[in-house]
Amino acid sequence: MPESSLALLQSNSTRNDLKVNMPTLSTKHLQEFRREFRLPDRNLLRWFPGHMAGGLKKMQTKLKSVDCIIEVHDARIPISGRNPNFKYDLLGVKPHILVLNKTDLTDTNFINKSSMYLKEQEGISEVIFTNCKDQTSKGIKDLVPSVINTIKKFDRFNRCANPEFGVMIIGIPNVGKSSLINSLRSSILKKNKCAPVGAKPGITKLVQNRIKISNSPPVFVYDTPGILTPNVPHAEVGMKLALCGTLQDHSIGLFTIADFLLYWCNKNKNFNYLDFFGINEPSDNIGLLLAQYAIKKNIYIRIRELTSSNVKVNKPDLNLSANRFIEAFRNGKLGPINLDSDTLKWYKS
């Protein structure tokens, strides 16, 4: 076996344990991987539709009816991609709790370091981790009591005589704001979901009416549209956002998102993608991997030959293959991943 070859896993049963059986590579092979990711066009990361600007202004007008702000973010990118404008436009005047959602998809080995980093480097006083798919999870159970305790620590000013507590849910797109509201409502009030949800960014486009999530004490929340910063300063941060589905896939391109996923996996020595592609050694060539996958899975697209407008041929469908690779990450089939682990693993208090 050549030096660059991966050690094959010993049995089918051990191959199912993604975290334990992480393949290792020689130093020689690691040097073949890219050390930085280059976007074909930086303008790909600019997605700030009109409803975001209007939504932010409407959120500001609702602040007088709010006692606390819950900012929801994706636990797979705990220190990347939060909208810095929230700090100046919304968070400066009301108590703030940061909820890192989708903990079922992140590497829980970095939960403590994520919380420590956010508190010490970002000045966030309270960080709660949630999984909206599990209404019995500790984060879901602890959130409303934490909100009430936080509100009681601060002066409510014009709302001090109001027995009802008002909460605004904010965050970037597709981090689970509406899902969180539905989970809290179902867990506490045993009511069906009332906030629209979807797997794509931009489902909620308006600041919604008040939604009740608790009777005693009465707590009402406002669901709000996801708001991105108009300019993402770093390409890798933008691609992490795209990979987690906070940007629209078609605006970035499935091929580019899949290429970044491959780049990140190789850079961080996470070779769980080998099983997905059915290969024994890693690769840094996303086009080749997607073509091989399409052929293996019989995924083709009919296109016209360049030399003749009347002749159509079958070509491997790279876009559909890229979409399946991306969805494997988003659904946790590549194992639990924290995309900020390369920074967090070096962090010390």
pTM for this entry: 0.84
Query: Phi and psi dihedrals of 165, rounded to 5?
Result: -100, 130
Distance CA 69, CA 185 (A): 17
Per-residue pLDDT band for 50 (boundaries 50, 70, 90) equals: low
Residue spans per domain, the chain? 50-223, 253-344
Of 108, 91, 52, 99, which is closest to residue 73 (Cα–Cα)? 99
Report which residue type is found at 58.
K
Per CATH, the number for 50-223 is: 3.40.50.300
Query: Phi and psi dihedrals of 174, rounded to 5?
Result: 60, 35
Report which residue type is found at 29.
H
Predicted confidence at residue 49, as pLDDT, reads: 56
> At residue 28, does pLDDT exceed 70?
no
Per-residue pLDDT band for 51 (boundaries 50, 70, 90) equals: low
Report which residue type is found at 272.
N
Complete DSSP assignment for 219-257: EEEEE------SS-S-HHHHHHHHHTTSS-HHHH-HHHH
On whether the CB atoms of residues 6 and 281 are closer than 8 A, the answer is: yes
- Token output for 7: 């050690």
Per-residue pLDDT band for 56 (boundaries 50, 70, 90) equals: confident
Distance CA 140, CA 132 (A): 7
Residue that is written with structure tokens 């693993």 in the block: 345
> Looking at per-residue confidence, does 85 or 119 come out higher?
119
Identify the H or E element spanning 141. Answer: helix 138-152
3-state secondary structure of 99: strand
> At residue 20, does pLDDT exceed 80?
no
Per-residue pLDDT band for 11 (boundaries 50, 70, 90) equals: very low
